[in-house]
Structure 1
């Protein structure tokens, strides 16, 4: 069992490293191009590997409740960011609503469970992580009230916000784990960088919508 646990940890590290490297290409490169789509798919695959090995490690080998919130947030951000592109033409579906509701309920349940869990990470980081998940899921449930506006404009900002956030959630988990001597800065620092990029990209596309529209529509046709 210990050998399997070590193998799972090694696979988790490999997938995480690949995800952080692959995610740089779609984030920094031309939006909507072939490289953006290809590396975006590879990033999602590597992220799925990170999350699967994390869930396996938490559930079977070494349960650490304080990491469940980060896993939940990363899973949901990657899922919802991908779905923002896939459902651009139709708007959010019932599947998106059920997944959002499930993530919301899970985050609320975890908040109550954390009282009985030893918190190795800074409590403020853990609770803010769960708070971010609650805000995101509530927004996603509210989208059903303004589907036409979402389809016309907001879907592209959803995609940027959630995929960039998913990437920096991975970076935060990495730095928070390997640089514990710099806590809490190693835990929330990457998230600050990620939110700065989200705001920067959002302002760019808001001020230059004609420049962004062809690229992002290409993503929807070929992702």
Structure 2
């Protein structure tokens, strides 16, 4: 019964994750700010919130009984390894996905009104993802898995940069848009990482620990973020240069 429920969670996780992996490209590649962008952005956000929540549920099942939930790995890996990779690390990535999706949706909805994005769920998710990241790193040390330590830096950086945006003294005029982009593309990175790393365990289990499977989505996503950040900065500079300048005072 437990394994059947776990398999249902996996199927639902794959379905919502696939929806997110497809829909993320509509707002990334399409025209920004239009109705299509907003509509598919909402679909992507909901898909990521559900996908992350399902990942958390799957991680809890794994932590309780790692061998029963992963019978295809019996004889390949021990319980400590499965609990670490598919329990603690998946718990971290699930919380990370929820964090990025929720934060990214809030900041675009509220724009420059940062105080509205400082609602209790968003504030709770920041220390929560950092605690999950620190625990992931600790568990990686205990089972000698450096990948778990490396991925923990992403969670710590996410929580820290989100809090910095929410509380920094003098935000730029378009910082909210850059933050929205960072968070939701980051959520897209997480879903592709899950497909390439966790998903590969069903076919070739050893690939789940291959750093390349984690590096490809990360490098692609960071490149997208930096590209659009530069475009946003260029638009800000263009608007500032178009503003009328005060003529120098005439000496009589």
| Counterpart selection for 2:233 from 194, 206, 213 | 206
5+ residue gaps, structure 2: 63-68, 70-82, 240-252
Matches within 5 A, 1:83-98: 83-92=106-115, 93-95=118-120, 96-98=122-124
Q: Does 1:146 align with 2:168?
A: yes
Q: Cα deviation per residue 1:41-81 (whole Å; 9 max; x = unaligned)?
A: 11112112212221221113545223222222222111211
Q: Which residue of 1 aligns with 2:35?
A: 34
- Structure 1, 181-190 or 71-80: larger mean CA deviation: 181-190
- C-alpha distance in 2, partners of 1:33/1:210? 22
Matches within 5 A, 1:57-72: 57-60=58-61, 62=69, 64-72=87-95
Q: Which residue of 1 aligns with 2:137?
A: 111
In the alignment, is the contact (CA less than 8 A) between 1:101 and 1:141 conserved in 2?
A: no
Aligned residues: 207
Q: Cα deviation per residue 1:176-196 (whole Å; 9 max; x = unaligned)?
A: 134456522122111101100
Return closer, same or farther for 1:18/1:209 CA change in 2, 3 Å cut-off: same
- The RMSD of aligned alpha carbons is 2.4
Greater relative contact order (Cα < 8 A, sep 6+): 1
- C-alpha distance in 2, partners of 1:44/1:145? 24
Residue 16 of structure 1 and its aligned partner are, at CA, apart by 1.0
Q: Which residue of 2 aligns with 1:159?
A: 180
Q: Does 1:43 align with 2:44?
A: yes
- With the length of structure 1 as denominator, give the TM-score of the two structures: 0.81
Which of 1 and 2 has greater Rg? 2
Residue 143 of structure 1 and its aligned partner are, at CA, apart by 3.1
In the alignment, is the contact (CA less than 8 A) between 2:141 and 2:149 conserved in 1?
A: no
- Structure 1, 127-136 or 90-99: larger mean CA deviation: 90-99
- C-alpha distance in 1, partners of 2:42/2:183? 15
Return closer, same or farther for 1:167/1:211 CA change in 2, 3 Å cut-off: farther
Residue 145 of structure 1 and its aligned partner are, at CA, apart by 4.3
In the alignment, is the contact (CA less than 8 A) between 2:52 and 2:94 conserved in 1?
A: yes
Q: Which residue of 1 aligns with 2:76?
A: none
Q: Cα deviation per residue 1:145-187 (whole Å; 9 max; x = unaligned)?
A: 435425x221111011111111011101101134456522122
- Structure 1, 37-46 or 126-135: larger mean CA deviation: 126-135
Q: Secondary structure at the match of 1:32?
A: coil
